[in-house]
A and B are shown apart, each in its own frame.
Chain A
Amino acid sequence: MIRNEECIVLSNQEIAHNIFELTLKGELVQQMNEPGQFVHLKVSGSVDPLLRRPISIAKIDQENNMFTMIFRAEGNGTKLLAQKKVGDVVDVLGPLGNGFPVEEAKAGSTALLVGGGIGVPPLYELSLRLKERNVNVIHVLGFATKDAVFYEEKFSELGETYVVTVDGSHGEKGFVTDVISAQNLSFDTLYTCGPTPMLRALEATYPEKNVYLSLEERMGCGIGACFACVCRTQDDPTGYTYKKVCTDGPVFKGGEVLI
């Protein structure tokens, strides 16, 4: 069930250049059941910025009613969010959307988790859940440069982890797809979140695999009412069929929607 709640800031720290890790406390954590879902945040009480901001849930702690997000302070809204102090409140609408299906990866099988930039965060809770189910996890995490890298150690604790930077300043140089082929990584299920070109490349490279992609789109309402976030489906690319990223996604099965 979607809830709207004023959550309390437990911590907000810069963990890499302009990358913040924000932990909130609230009852709505009890509704968070799938990794890959997101919340819609009102970052200010004023009319500017007006709209909520969609941010993925990176870690869920239901026992303590806590959840963590990782975001890049970039524009107006996320910069304001970066200034939130311990004890401040944030108006949260969520959890929203459909997350990654963990049950698609069988115990003993291998899941490859590929993230790009601020697409990396939702993979963390996903990886935790997969580990719990005795799935082998391999992570390939792409970042722009060394100072944008985060959570490398945390992911390493859960499984084999490769970090890639575009400029080669940390880890391998190049794109996530380069590493997957260079390392000859084999897997049964692929879960990915990140820039659209990356998702497109992965979908095209592994048509025969079980692939799940998390998409990004500009949003108005975040709950399916405004039709801002629609995309077309692959089996009806020019017709009237559509999917809403906010409620049908943000996670889609490879081959389902046009990206």
Chain B
Amino acid sequence: MSQLAVNLPGLQLKNPIMPASGCFGFGREYSQFYDLSTLGSIMIKATTVEPRFGNPTPRVAETTAGMLNAIGLQNPGLKKVINEELAWLDQFDVPIIANVAGSLEEDYIEVAREISKVSNVHALELNISCPNVKTGGIAFGTIPEVAKELTKKVKEVSSVPVYVKLSPNVSNIVEMAKAVEAGGADGLTMINTLIGMRLDLKTGKPVLANNTGGLSGPAIKPVAIRMIYEVSQHVNIPIIGMGGVQSAEDVIEFFYAGASAVAVGTANFVDPLVCPKIIEELPALLDELGFDHISECTGRSWKKNEKLAYHRA
């Protein structure tokens, strides 16, 4: 097991695999399939101060090797998340990363302050990148100065380390990453979904009631890899990578790009057991590739003078 253990700010993980926010609810459904304590961590569904109903349906549409979603951050609100969901999750031996969302700066601050006090919340994931809400969210995620300021304010009130979730819907992701690092972010999570659209062949109209939605799944993996590759060379904080991960091989590729842990989103819908399967398969894959520990893989794509991994082949 120690082959997989990783330490990140606030997070001592038995393995670097965790379900991505919004793709795992608050864990209850998946606990029917396996013991959630096998996971490295759980990124829970975005939480806002007040409950949110979200967008009208259809909220999802399939695309080639991917899907679009426009859920609209539906969640039961801060109070219920703390009293019901986080309390329920406390029975498992797994650190939680709480995904914090909002429309206004005050919303983020309030959620961050309160949720970071909960004992099983070991880190926050500041969601400044949701493409499916009309206000807030996205502006915080596309203007470096605004993102930096928000990060700073959330850091001031948070009792645990703060990771900022970056949007791929920007022209310069390195600039965004540097800005939130300057704002005091302890780590980055990337990438959130790419904005996309599908039109119905018969009606000619958008399939999603929200018109546009966030693209996720295997289709976005190359974009995620490229962005992590670029960002990891320009910041000194760790990255939790995500975007289309389905297998142990994908996880290693994210590490090579520069990630220090990996989250699995859409793949949970296809195979509810995907996370434990990946965790189980990783040690043999590391052995095969000649690594003693998974952290040796981080940044391999750009690090100079590393011994060639494949020496045992």
Contact = CB atoms under 8 A, between A and B. Distances in A.
A51 B60 CA distance: 11
Contact of A2 (B32, B60, B67): B32
Interface stretch (A17-25, A41-49, A115-123, A175-183): A41-49
Given A50-B66, A50-B270, A228-B60, A221 B218 contact: no
Most buried by B among A52, A227, A228, A239: A227
Interface residues of B, number: 39
Contacts of B58: 217-218
A4 B67 contact: no
A240 B51 contact: yes
Contacts of A218: 57-61
Interface in B1-52: 22-25, 28-30, 32-33, 45, 51-52
Contacts of B52: 240
B57 A226 contact: no
A50 B67 contact: yes
Contact of A226 (B23, B51, B217, B218): B23
B272 interface: yes
Contact of B57 (A48, A49, A217, A239): A217
Interface string B146-177: 00000000000000000000000000000000
Interface in A229-250: 229-232, 239-240, 242, 247
B29 A223 contact: yes
Given A50-B270, A52-B270, A220-B69, A225 B64 contact: no
Contacts of A229: 57, 59
Interface of B: 22-25, 28-30, 32-33, 45, 51-54, 57-62, 64-67, 69, 71, 74, 76-77, 217-218, 246, 266, 268-273
13 contacts: A1-B32, A2-B32, A48-B64, A48-B65, A50-B66, A217-B57, A218-B60, A221-B23, A226-B25, A228-B59, A228-B60, A240-B51, A240-B52
